[in-house]
Amino acid sequence: MVYKPSPKPDYAKSTLIKYSVIKTHRWGDEISGYVKDWIYVSNKHLHQIIFGLKPGSNFKHSQSFRTIFGADEFLYVLSGLLVLSNPKTGEIKRVEEGQSVFFEKDTWHHAFNYSNKELQVLEFFSPPPLTGTSGVYAKRKPFLKKYLYKRSILNNPLKKTHYKNSFKVLKDEDISWSLYGQKQQLLLGDMVNTKNLKIKIVKLKGFQKSPAISFKFHSCFFSLNNSLQVSINFSKSPRVLKYRDSIYLIKGDSLTVKNNSKKEASLIVCEGI
């Protein structure tokens, strides 16, 4: 397959993006492996996708498909088991379902589905491809010919090892929490906050309704639950937000979210540039 740019969905107004209606995009070749993408939005502000790998498959890189970009990336594993590799250094990270991982621009990366079911991974990528950070950027980087899948390091559990990691698997203690709203009623966590990428997580208690949420720039809200009801700009016609659905929110607009379940619900949010 010859490299060609992926579709670039964009929206002129705040929009509910249903996972069930997104057309998939396939990329790759026999050397890199083949990947299926669900592209939610890709404009100059935001790039949000889910990528999928069949059980036991992987993506690496080839001359046409080089996996080193000029963007910071956040990955959240929705299903399957992701094994993420930096083939330049040999670093390997195991990222389980419900976990997330972050890495910065100029990081070579390969991904392996180390499970017997489809791997689906939510990805936020910033600055977005439309700013020149993806395929065009990658072709300007020196091609990596040799792959490493192991690091030659001493592993003494009683002593700290001194080497630089490319990937950070995020844990609860890595989240910086705040209380949002005039009455501090919403629990909001910063997962990533770099000059390129801002990722947050919203936590709603059972049957909780959020205050109006808005950010300085365009943003995307990704639902991790089936129990949410959303209203844009206090609309009297709320919409149902199911698992893997998203809301694309134009700057200046606000979003109100209600959890219709007794169980806690979560949304992952990316604030665009």
Q: pLDDT at residue 200 above 80?
A: yes
**pLDDT tens sequence across 223-254:** 999 999 999 999 999 999 999 999 999 999 99
CATH class of 15-154+164-170: mainly beta
In this prediction, residue 2 carries a pLDDT of: 65
Q: Under CATH, which architecture does the 175-271 domain have?
A: Sandwich (2.60)
Residue 161: per-residue pLDDT: 64
> What count of Cα atoms within 13 Å lies in the side-chain half-sphere of residue 43?
17
pLDDT at 6: 86
Whether the domain at 15-154+164-170 and the domain at 175-271 fall into the same CATH topology: yes
* Residue 155: predicted pLDDT: 74
pLDDT of residue 156: 74
Q: Is the dihedral of CA 225, 112, 220, 19 positive or negative?
A: negative
- The pLDDT mean for the chain works out to 95
State the amino acid at position 24 in one-letter form.
T
142, 145, 148, 154 alpha-carbon torsion, rounded to 10°? -60
- CA distance linking residue 238 with residue 233, whole number of Å: 10
Q: Where are the domains of the chain?
A: 15-154+164-170, 175-271
pTM of the model: 0.96
Q: Which amino acid is at 58?
A: N
Q: pLDDT tier at 181 (50, 70, 90 boundaries)? A: very high
